Amino acid sequence: MTDPTAAVLLIGDELLSGRTRDINLQQVAQYLEPLGIPVREARTVCDVQEEIVAAVNDLRAKYTYVFTTGGIGPTHDDITADAIAAAFGVGISEHPDAMRDMAARYAAMNTEFTAPRRRMARVPHGAILIANPVSGAPGFQTGNVFTLAGVPQIARAMLEDIGHRLETGAVIHKVTVRGKGLREGDLATRLGEIAKEFPAVGIGSYPWYGSIEDHGVALVARSPDKSALASVQTELETLARSLGADPEITT
């Protein structure tokens, strides 16, 4: 596999209401980028099973991998596991390995392994568990869909049990040329010319504005071709200097 792609499906009413700010998309994308697996699409859906099923089936048909976050906790609105099972047309029940590990963990904490907690051991039939070193309740892989917790700390920890399962693509190298005082309107024409001259390099322009004294543009170039990327870096530095900025470089 040379060009794997990924999508992220964020699940939860709390995200759509604005009550909770998502950072899982950023975490997943940053984890996958060094593996050469770009995230091509992200969606957010509510806690409605039909909506989750439709989104999962659409995304898993379009992309190599799908990562879902949220909805695998112990409460009534944690319906992601059931939705994944429905999307794949399989049953769902308590996984014996998950039950064993979770029972041992709660016993060690002198905490009752209640029915709501047992809900977190339910996974679609045929799914492979994803380890959760933070709180114990596992995620799971069903086909090309990886189902992670919504709590960012747990979702990030779960990713460590996923990397070895993925077929990687070409590693994307990146360089950022940051110019204080630059304005997009001044550099747009030349930036477009550079993009046409180097079609193998993706170039993005990202302005920031902190105050009148603190503003500018960060020019970010990405490519699997190190040689082309180096050439583009030189062009971007030259562009920044031509507009009176002293370029700051990060990779």
pLDDT digits (tens, 9 = 90+) for 57-90: 999 999 999 999 999 999 999 999 999 999 999 9
CA distance 201 to 189: 17
Q: Which of 19, 31, 171, 18 has the alpha carbon at shortest distance from 8?
A: 31
Do the Cβ atoms of 23 and 78 come closer than 8 Å? no
- The arrangement of secondary structure in 173-250, i.e. its CATH architecture, is 2-Layer Sandwich (3.30)
Residues in the chain: 251
Domain ranges of the chain: 6-165, 173-250
Select the more confidently predicted residue: 2 or 190.
190
Whole-number Cα distances in Å, 134 to 21, 151, 165, 218, 243? 21, 10, 20, 36, 49
Residue 151 is which amino acid? V
Per-residue pLDDT tens over the stretch 87-122:
999 999 999 999 999 999 999 999 999 999 999 999
What CATH superfamily is the domain 6-165?
Answer: MoaB/Mog-like domain (3.40.980.10)
pLDDT at 1 over 70: no
